[in-house]
Amino acid sequence: MNMKISYARGILKNRTSSKLFVHSLGVEETALRLATVYGFDKKKAALAGLLHDYGKIFPKNVLYRFALKYNIVDDLALQEPALLHAPVGAWLLEHELGIVDQEILEAVRRHTTGFPTMIPLAKIVYLADYIEPGRNCPGVQDLREIAFSNLDRALFYAVSRTMSYVLERKKILHPFSVFFRNSLILSLRKNNRELENDEGY
């Protein structure tokens, strides 16, 4: 790890809206709590949570230009502005802020679509983004409880609801999300044989 959390907070405070800054602090705090419960690196989780939306500092046309110039995303993500800030944000954290920790970069890169083989830090940031205290989408309170007892189960609900949201709004559903959800189902089936029917994840 190569950046102090207080320094990263200062960067965000100066460069983001107060709404995004408060959201980032909420994800930092939630990622730290999840890392504590599940025994993962707390400092890394806090920093990755804090910086996960770094890409949102930049206008969408700037993200698009970076994505195109440096070949950061696939063709599908290039067509959907909402899919740019995570992978381009990770690239900017590396090349603009000098973050070299590959796990932090991976967690930031995957926090919108998920990924079939998510490292634990990426899972924590994905979930923290969904349940941080500022979120009030339907069912989030239940999910906050599940999150601290069964990480994959909470992730399954989070990615399923995110996919429903994307489908309802006729936006592009990135295949990474489908692969991620399938990988969670397989993991839950393996760990909970009694849940092998289609209910109870």
CB of 74 to Fe ion, least distance (A): 18
Please state the closest distance from residue 112 (CB atom) to Fe ion, in A.
5
Nearer to Fe ion, 3 or 88 (CB): 88
User: Is the CB of residue 78 less than 8 Å from the CB of residue 67?
Assistant: yes
Tokens matching residue 46: 């806090």
Q: Which residue has the tokens 């339907």?
A: 138
Residue 106 binds to Fe ion (criterion: CB under 5 A): no
Question: Which string of x and - marks every residue 113-142 that binds Fe ion (by CB under 5 A)?
Answer: ----------------x-------------
- Tell me the C-alpha distance between 146 and 152, whole Å: 9
Size of the site for Fe ion (CB under 5 A): 2
Residues near 27 by beta carbon (within 8 Å), at least 6 away in sequence: 49, 50, 52, 53, 125, 128, 129, 132
State the residue for tokens 């990924």. 115
SS3 for 77?
A: helix
Should residue 53 be labelled a site residue for Fe ion when binding is judged by CB under 5 A? yes
Which C-beta is closer to Fe ion: that of 26 or that of 120? 26
**Residue closer to Fe ion, measured from CB, 101 or 129:** 129
Smallest distance, Fe ion to C-beta of residue 130, A: 9
Supply the minimum distance, in Å, between the C-beta of residue 131 and Fe ion.
11
Nearer to Fe ion, 125 or 151 (CB): 125
For residue 23, give every residue at least 6 positions away whose Cβ sits within 8 Å of its Cβ, in sequence order, or none.
Answer: 53, 132, 134
* Nearest to Fe ion of 3, 84 (CB atom): 84
- DSSP summary character for residue 97: S
Question: Are 50 and 3 contacting, i.e. CB atoms less than 8 angstroms apart?
Answer: no
**103 is a site residue for Fe ion (CB under 5 A):** no
Contacts with Fe ion by CB under 5 A lie at 53, 129
